[in-house]
């Protein structure tokens, strides 16, 4: 019965979503980026799901209407998707720069308290993530896949990964966004299935358009639990500065220059 109840809730809230979208303009590329992807949750267990981590770069960003999808073409809704909306509660209306948003493709308890610069949503149970029509937020392949980030029907970010040595374009097209070396380029993961995810190591939003700025990793996130945390090195320094500048109100969007 609980599953049916949640399903009815999501249908009703899906209708509310279309009626409650903010009239604010769509975000621009670089305002929010994909910062980490966990695509192969080995040893599935409680709370162990595929996940995508986003980083808010533009301060006071209105994220209502933000959508993540593993569709191949950004403007063709052929696969899973998750569209965020706070349903009038306000926690997505003015999100601070440096905030990390983790979206898990599973069930759990959402964290919508923005005080610690981290938000967490679980697509299978969240009232704030509209997954219609498929009921899944995303379904990522170990053999390679891609993710599109959109806001109010506008492209915002794109990443693509494949096993090392893959040839041809594969699945996923960056559309109108820049992706270094074009449609055949991708973030390399272990061809033998050793990689479980990959994280962005850069300190500028535009650098995540370069596969070389990403690092694949083999560990389970339940072991190191890096989701919702900066990725180390200059990525951590950048996020720390974004948060500091949000708290002091010194800038609306900050790109930390390389030292």
Encode pLDDT of 175-192 as tens digits: 999 999 999 999 999 877
What is the value of pTM for the model shown? 0.88
Given a contact cutoff of 8 angstroms between Cβ atoms, the answer to whether 149 and 136 are in contact is no
Please determine, for residue 9, whether its predicted confidence score (pLDDT) is greater than 70. no
Expressed in angstroms, the distance from the first to the final Cα of the chain is 56
Please determine, for residue 213, whether its predicted confidence score (pLDDT) is greater than 60. yes
Q: Would strands 118-122 and 100-104 be described as parallel, antiparallel, or unpaired? A: parallel
What is the percentage of the chain residues whose pLDDT exceeds 90? 67
| Angle value at C-alpha 255, between 195 and 28, nearest 5 degrees | 85
Given a contact cutoff of 8 angstroms between Cβ atoms, the answer to whether 207 and 213 are in contact is yes
Element (H, E) at 100: strand 100-104
Please determine, for residue 206, whether its predicted confidence score (pLDDT) is greater than 60. yes
| Angle value at C-alpha 116, between 125 and 35, nearest 5 degrees | 70
Q: Would strands 81-84 and 100-104 be described as parallel, antiparallel, or unpaired? A: unpaired
Give me Rg for the CA atoms of the chain.
17
- Neighbour-count burial for 211-245, b at 16+ CB within 10 Å, e otherwise: bebbbbbeebbeeeebbbebbeebbeebbebbbeb
pLDDT at residue 22 in the model: 46
For the chain, what are the domain ranges?
2-248
Token digits for 246?
């949000």
Whether cis (ω within 30° of 0) applies to the bond prior to 150 is no
């Amino acid at each position: 019965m609980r599953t049916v109840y949640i399903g009815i809730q999501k249908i009703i809230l899906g209708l509310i979503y279309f009626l409650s979208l903010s009239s604010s303009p769509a975000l621009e590329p670089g305002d929010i980026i994909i910062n980490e992807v966990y695509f192969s949750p080995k040893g599935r267990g409680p709370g162990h799901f595929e996940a995508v981590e986003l980083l808010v770069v533009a301060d006071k960003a209105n994220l209502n209407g933000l959508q993540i999808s593993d569709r191949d073409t950004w403007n063709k809704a052929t696969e899973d998707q998750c569209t965020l909306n706070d349903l009038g509660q306000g926690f997505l209306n003015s999100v601070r720069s440096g905030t990390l948003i983790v979206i898990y493709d599973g069930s759990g308890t959402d964290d919508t308290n923005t005080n610690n610069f981290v938000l967490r949503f679980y697509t299978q149970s969240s009232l704030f993530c509209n997954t219609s029509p498929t009921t899944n937020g995303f379904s990522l392949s170990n053999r390679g896949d891609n993710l599109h980030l959109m806001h109010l029907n506008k492209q915002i970010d794109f990443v693509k990964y494949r096993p090392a040595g893959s040839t041809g374009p594969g699945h996923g097209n960056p559309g109108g966004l820049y992706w270094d070396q074009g449609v055949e380029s991708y973030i390399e993961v272990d061809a033998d299935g050793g990689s479980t995810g990959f994280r962005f190591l850069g300190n500028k939003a535009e650098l995540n358009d370069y596969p070389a700025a990403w690092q694949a990793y083999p560990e389970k996130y339940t072991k190191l639990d890096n989701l919702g945390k900066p990725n180390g090195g200059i990525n951590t320094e950048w996020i720390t500065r974004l948060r500091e500048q949000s708290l002091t109100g010194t800038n609306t969007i900050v790109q930390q220059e390389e030292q």
